[in-house]
Amino acid sequence: MFDDNNVNNQAGSQFQPAQLPDNLVPPLQDNSQDPTNLIKPLHPTPPPAASTEPPVAAPNPPPSEDNLIAIKQQALSSLTPLVSQIDQSPEEKFKTTMMLIQASDNAALIKEAYAAANQITDEKARAQALIDVINEINYFTQNKK
C-alpha cells in the first residue's frame, strides 16, 4: 500500500521542499563584490516624478548684526514720537517708555516714564515703576562718571 519513499519521509521526518520550475524562481543576485549593499530589491522603486511647480528660491540669509542694529535704531526713531498716540493704560505706557529708554539709551524719555509711573493707580505697581525710574536715572548718572 505505501511505497518505501513515503514511509521513509514520514518516519524520518525529513522534509524535502518542492522544486519550482526555473521560470518561477527569481534569479539570485551576486552581492559578493558589494559588501555595503547585501540585499537589492527585485523591483527597484522608480525615481520621483518631476515637479510641475516652479522651484522655490532659497530664503534670504539673515541680516548681519550691524543691519539689525540699524533697523532697530530706525524703528526706535519712528516709534518714539508715536508712543503718545498709542491707546495704553498708564502701566502699559510706562512699560513701553521704559523699553524705549533701555533700547535706545535715551535719557530724555525719563520724564515721560516718570509721568506714566505716577499715573499708575495700583500702589504696588506704581512703587515698582518708580523704583525702575530711579534705577534708570542711576544707570545714566553713573555711566557719565
Report the pLDDT averaged over residues 16-23.
60
Domain annotation covers residue 10: no
pLDDT confidence of residue 85 = 86
Q: Determine the structural domain holding residue 117 and report its residue range.
A: 87-143
Can you read off the three cell numbers belonging to residue 48? Answer: 520621483
pTM score over 0.75: no
Judged against a pLDDT cut of 80, whether residue 90 lies above it is answered with yes
Domains held by the chain: number: 1
The answer as to whether 14 is a domain residue is: no
Residue 130 lies in a domain: yes
Residue 39 lies in a domain: no
Does residue 92 carry a pLDDT above 80?
Answer: yes
101 lies in a domain? yes
